[in-house]
Chain A
Amino acid sequence: MEAALALEAHGTIFGVRIQADASEREWNGDERAVTRFLAGDVAGFEQIVRHYSSMIFALAARMVGPAEAEDVVQETFLRAYRGLESFRGESSLKTWLYTIALNRIRARHGALARLRKLFVPGQPGPDREDGEALDLVADAADPADGPEEAALAMERRRRLRVAIQNLPEEFRTAVILRDLQDLSYQEVADVLHVPIGTVRSRIARGRALLKEELS
């Protein structure tokens, strides 16, 4: 049990869901974790990593593909580790981490895309294929659906993912943060450092583009 607890708070080993010790794994909130960390207790930062790493990974996987997502998560938390002392709580820890992650994603994605365009013109980015490969595994069909419905649903999701990837970056980020990461308009505005009106129009425009793409 001790070893299992050391692995992951909500991991699955041999199909058995591990329930973490409540006193050790309970999320105490951003402020408390930050306070612990700033007091010199590394366990405070560990709590932050455990709570947010899945969200950051999901965002990174959507943006750059799962192959690079783990690196993005590491870089994000490495930066957070160094910058947490200067974190003033003007925004929430969640939006602060998302902002760092998006900056790292832009840096990696931009550099990779430029390199790929330079050396292999016309080749799609790595996130498309890798992402689709992973989603085929993740998109387990609903057992209630018949084979035909399951196949149609999978095809619809595949097309949707492709459509998302084809969106311009500013619309894609806004849509992913709102519809896939479930951030509020205000949180999206905080992450992107844009006015909330801009967020509304970007999300609306992104959704409209998706509709056109899929219709």
Chain B
Amino acid sequence: MSAHPQMARIPDEELDLLLSRSLDADLSPDEERDLERYLSGHPEARQRRDALAAIVADLRKLPPREPPFALASRVHNTVTEKSTGLASVWHRFGIYPAAGVVPAMAGVMALGLALAVYYDVKRPPVVREQAQKPDDGPLEVFFQESTASKKEKAPAVEEDRLAAKGNEAQPAAPAPAPPVVAGRAQDRDDRAPAKDKEQARPAESKLADASPADRSSAGVSTDEGGARSRRADGPVPAQALAQDAAEPARPIVVAEAPQAKPERQGEKRELAKSASAATARREEASGFANETTRVVPAGVGSVTGSAPAAPPAAAAPAPAPPSARVYSVSISTGSDSWRVARPPSGIPPSPLAATLFRLTLDADGRVTAVRAVAAGGTVRADVEEMLRALALAPVGRGGAREVEVRVEVR
């Protein structure tokens, strides 16, 4: 029987830790004593301790690596050099490039940049557009009214001017009476003498002369709701103008017949002509079709209100309206399979008879058939042409060959 009570066996890993700490004199006196007691009762633990002590002794006897000659001087010189030179910029970010690496990297980057620029220029525009618009949200197209469309409307204004001059030249002739849109008889009568002078000036310059406060009485009426004026991209219906004129609180320009009242049939015709001319003038004065301020020239007929006529020298261009219209093309059904990759080249007519169209596509996303969802499925030829020019791109693997596209003009 041993003099010491048998101690429980310590696992090898724990014993190694104790032995290692013992060799480094890291154990407390109590721990050291307990270890010695354990070792005295366990010869295999003593062997383990002896082997470990031999390893540690060998480790500590390993000769230190002698530094190369004058290492400290070299290091110090190098450090002071690099700390003040261009390389210090790299070292500041923890980069220690070997000699020649920086110029090589710069060359590779320059080459990559040049290639990227070259291929970007070479890429066809459609591809570039697709790359820029990866989402399949509505595609909005802003456009300015073309000068061609303005010129189309210009003859109407010119026609009015010529008509006015004709009136001036032949005041007594029973010419076809200018259209009567609406008006108050007493106003017309009161301002009849001033009419001839007013006719000599273009309506636009007069409108520009008037101060904003006077514009409403000088023939510029501001549409609060803007609903009708937004419809005024095309010819404004005469009924709408008549409704405007019928509102007693709002000054409405009246193109009147000073002497003779036209016959009923002629009145209708002239009414339509006057409305068309007024629309053209409005658009000419504003410069754009969807202007929310409706401009009605005061020079053709008598003008309600009492705005003094400003001298022509003070004429200034009308304030520029917002310079663009916008329409949006979006896929309402089938957007999970297709997206609009390129806007159509045309400009949709306004107002559109239908805004929702069902398109049949081929595998490449080209439009092969167009139907309106409403309006009996018929599509105006120009709208169909515009929609057929759409380019759709598949989302993922594409999928359904029919999509519904909404076209909205704002």
Contacts and interface: CB of A to CB of B under 8 A. Distances in A.
A130 B20 CA distance: 30
Contact of B83 (A6, A82, A164, A215): A82
A211 B51 contact: yes
Contacts of A50: 72, 76
Contact of A157 (B24, B62, B65, B67): B62
A9 B72 contact: yes
B26 A185 contact: yes
Interface in A24-63: 42, 45-46, 49-50, 53-54, 57-58, 61-62
A128 interface: no
Please provide the 6 A-B residue pairs with the shortest distance between their CB atoms, ordered closest to farther. A204-B20, A61-B65, A179-B59, A57-B67, A204-B17, A50-B72
B89 to A, nearest CB: 12
Given A204-B16, A207-B16, A208-B52, A138 B63 contact: yes
A175 to B, nearest CB: 7
A169 interface: no
B69 A11 contact: yes
A182 B55 CA distance: 15
Contacts of B65: 57-58, 61-62, 66, 69, 134-135, 138
**Main SS of chain A's interface residues?**
helix
A71 B62 CA distance: 23
Nearest to B66: A138
A160 B67 contact: no
B96 interface: yes
Nearest to A196: B26
A208 B55 CA distance: 9
Contact of B75 (A58, A73, A82): A73
A24 to B, nearest CB: 13
Given A8-B69, A75-B96, A77-B75, 8 more contacts: A54-B67, A61-B65, A78-B96, A138-B63, A164-B59, A185-B24, A185-B26, A204-B21
B33 interface: no
B78 interface: yes
The size bracket of the interface on A is 35 or more
Interface string A177-215: 011101001000000000000001101110110110011
Contact of A180 (B17, B59, B74, B94): B59
B29 interface: no
Contacts of A140: 63
Nearest to A140: B63
Interface of A: 6-9, 11, 42, 45-46, 49-50, 53-54, 57-58, 61-62, 66, 69-71, 73-75, 77-79, 81-82, 134-135, 138-140, 156-157, 160-161, 164, 175, 178-180, 182, 185, 200-201, 203-205, 207-208, 210-211, 214-215
B64 A180 contact: yes
Contacts of A78: 78-79, 82-83, 91, 96
Interface string B378-394: 00000000000000000
Contact of A207 (B55, B70, B71, B96): B55
A208 B83 contact: no
A204 B359 CA distance: 77
Nearest to B68: A70
B73 A139 contact: no
Given A134-B65, A179-B59, A207 B20 contact: yes
A166 B24 CA distance: 23
Nearest to A104: B96
Interface in B90-144: 91-92, 94, 96
B306 interface: no
Given A74-B79, A78-B79, A208-B16, A7 B67 contact: no
Given A42-B80, A49-B76, A138-B63, A211 B55 contact: yes
B152 interface: no
Contacts of A135: 63, 65
A175 B96 CA distance: 28
B73 A74 contact: no
A81 B83 contact: yes
Max chain A Cβ within 10 angstroms of own Cβ: one of B16, B61, B70, B76 = B76
B197 interface: no
Interface string B2-36: 00000000000100110111001010000000000
Max chain A Cβ within 10 angstroms of own Cβ: one of B65, B82, B92, B96 = B65
Nearest to B98: A71
Contacts of A82: 83, 91-92
